[in-house]
Amino acid sequence: MTSFVRSYLWRAVESNARLVQFLLRDLPEGSPRWDAKPDPERFSLREVVAHLLDYDSVTRDRFERIIRENQPEFENWDVDEAAAHYDARDPKRQIENLLVSRQELSVWLEGLADDEWKRVGSRPRVGEFSVEDGTAMMLGHDAYHLDQIVAWLEATK
């Protein structure tokens, strides 16, 4: 992938957080819609926002280790364990934190050299992945949850 193409990746990392903020901007803090679950097998809006922020932290830690270490191996992240506390988090605060986290990650990614984008780590079920691959996975993960946010907002009108 060229640096021109990569520039779209790091910019999208930041802009996706702004999309989350935009989609949820009119939802009042105490609204029961934050905790509605049109599909009980999926996260509520409150949980989606908390999950995205946690995913950011896990991904950033992995990226930094990939840059510092030679082919680090990562355990799978226990999403269920992390989600056990999502219902107590303030979604508006989580969105603010997500905006900051994504802006910082975007700047960090922009500063990587071409060879750093290609450095790899590995984890079960995924196998070997580069920072470049991980960034693409992050954007796909964002798209999944952005679609979920839109569906939830429509289902809980």
Q: Looking at the predicted structure, is the pLDDT value of residue 96 above 90?
A: yes
Question: Which strand (E) or helix (H) includes residue 151?
Answer: helix 131-155
pLDDT of the residue at 77:
86
In this prediction, residue 125 carries a pLDDT of 86
Q: How much is the pLDDT for 139?
A: 97
* Spatial distance between the Cα atoms of 137 and 56, rounded to a whole number of angstroms: 12
Average pLDDT (61-84) is 94
What would the two tokens of residue 27 be?
């939802």
| pLDDT above 90 (res 5) | no
CA distances from 121 to 5, 37, 63, 129, 135 (A): 22, 35, 8, 6, 13
Residue 115 scores a pLDDT above 90: yes
Domains assigned to the chain: 3-155 (1.20.120.450)
What is residue 79's DSSP assignment? H
Mean pLDDT of the chain: 95
Query: C-alpha angle 80/82/88, rounded to 5°?
Result: 110
Given a cut of 90, whether residue 112 has pLDDT beyond it is yes
